[in-house]
Amino acid sequence: MKTRVLDFDVVIVKDPDKGYYAYVPQLPGCYSQGETVEETLENIKEAIELYLEVLSEEEREEILSEKPEAILLTKVEVYA
């Protein structure tokens, strides 16, 4: 039974060949994709729910207690 609302930061990246893909920095290995941003968001929500379902209670509490305070998305210029 789902008893509380959780929020997660999601990163969505445009893939020029395959639409979009998304991942959740707080949940290692939690990825999804879609043809549109909206579809990608729906898919990553489902991926998060499934990810949390398979965790033990201890794993869940550990992951949820490690929520980062802030995430910054920016571009960085490098010379290569």
pLDDT digits (tens, 9 = 90+) for 6-38: 888 899 999 888 899 999 988 999 999 999 999
Q: Are 31 and 13 in contact (CB under 8 A)?
A: no
- Domain covering 1-80: architecture: 2-Layer Sandwich (3.30)
Q: What predicted TM-score, i.e. pTM, was given to this entire model?
A: 0.80
Q: Domain map of the chain by residue range? A: 1-80
Closest Cα to residue 43, out of 52, 54, 34, 35? 34
Tell which phi-psi region holds residue 7, choosing left (phi > 0), alpha (psi between -120 and 50) or beta.
Answer: beta
- Decide if pLDDT at 68 tops 80: no
CA distances from 24 to 30, 51, 52 (A): 6, 11, 12
